[in-house]
Amino acid sequence: MTPGYAGGTSPNPTYTDVANGTSGHIEVCQINFDSKIVSFDELLEVFWLIHDPTSIDRQGDDVGRQFRSVIFYHNQQQKESANEYIKIMDDSSLYIKPIVTSIIKYSHFFRAEDYHQDYFEHHNHQPYCLLVIKPKIEKFRIVFSDKLKTLKSTN
């Protein structure tokens, strides 16, 4: 998983450009995966679990267009899977508010600066990491513990 930026118009965005909202880009993570080990649908399960897909231009205390909920798809099958998940969740009334996650065709990814790579690992005692990121990681580890065991056994 690589943190970075996507979806905007700036040809070479920096964190400052993205954070100020001047680039049009969104803070994202690029995930390279082996579909023989983990499926795109399983990645979608994680995505829906660890963030709020009903918040417009916001994730937690982070507010602005650069924090909107989005999935960048690479092929038609991924697009259809993402849209089907949204339909299922909307039909299930899982959320009180409607899902606002955008499904956008992938065009380009810009890797974030080095100081953003492995951020939680290097800054896990900062208040943001303790209050926002750590609970998401713990929730992920509980809900997907069986998958984590499977992944560990394949390495």
State whether 59 and 107 are in the same domain.
Answer: yes
The separation between CA 107 and the C-alpha centre of its own chain, rounded to angstroms, equals 16
> 77-126: per-residue pLDDT in tens?
999 999 999 998 888 878 888 899 999 999 999 999 888 888 888 888 98
What predicted TM-score, i.e. pTM, was given to this entire model?
Answer: 0.84
> 26-67: per-residue pLDDT in tens?
999 999 988 888 889 988 988 888 888 998 898 777 888 888
State whether 28 and 63 are in the same domain.
Answer: yes
Token output for 60: 């937690």
Is residue 135 classed exposed, middle or buried when 0-12, 13-18 and 19+ CB atoms within 10 A define those classes?
A: exposed
State whether 61 and 101 are in the same domain.
Answer: yes
State whether 27 and 60 are in the same domain.
Answer: yes
Give the chain's domain count: 2
Range of the domain at 75: 2-113
pLDDT of residue 34: 85
State whether 84 and 48 are in the same domain.
Answer: yes
Cα 72 to Cα 89: distance, rounded to the nearest angstrom: 19
